[in-house]
Amino acid sequence: MYQGYWQTTIGVELKGKILGLIGLGKVGSQVAKIGKAFGMQVMAWSENLNLDTCKELDVLPCSKEDLIKNSDFLSIHVQGGDRYKDCITIKEMDKMKKTAFLINTSRGPIISEDDLIIALSTNEIAGAGLDVYEKEPLPENNKLRFLPNVLLTPHIGYVTAENYQIFYSQMIESLEACVNGKPIRVIE
């Protein structure tokens, strides 16, 4: 409204929809609880899916193919790296519902960005919500910036006063420990 816009579209009901989660770890588990609070059916897949966690959260474990085919909202919550690079390409987007939304707050390279631009441009999927990108900051001429069916945020999903308090206090603790010859939080 600050820019003078008023509602010109209608929303989508979450109740009764399927929330598909790629990853059911710390973040994915919390997202599952939120989906349940909205009355969504929640499904999950990952290469190391914990079936006890699925049972505890009342989440249906499934194959990657079933997750992609059945989800109304597909949300990604796995770690970056080669293991999940290009986990979602045009091949997977072609199998998604035309009314589905793809959400990535995990790592940019998990989704093939070029393929996503094609899928969004051709309405192969209804839309996307992205907080992470293959290249950051997202270049000014990136085609994602100009698509009407994508919501973009500048990798701020983790930016909170509480998180920064933890980051900076742990940084000071780590520096002091190193100066005192007793390093902590050592990654081996």
pLDDT for residue 8:
85
Provide the strand spans (E) within 10-156. Answer: 18-22, 41-45, 60-61, 73-76, 101-104, 127-130, 150-152
Residue type, 85: K
List, for residues 75-89, the tens digit of each pLDDT value. 999 998 999 999 999
pLDDT for residue 16:
98
Residue 130, CA distances (Å) to 27, 57, 170 in order: 16, 25, 29
- Which one from 136, 145, 173, 176 is the annotated catalytic residue? 136
Residue 128 bridge partners (DSSP): 102, 150
| Omega prior to 137 cis, within 30 of 0 | yes
Give yes or no: 155 in active site: yes
Sites in the chain below the pLDDT cut of 50: none
pLDDT for residue 159:
87
Give yes or no: 77 in active site: no
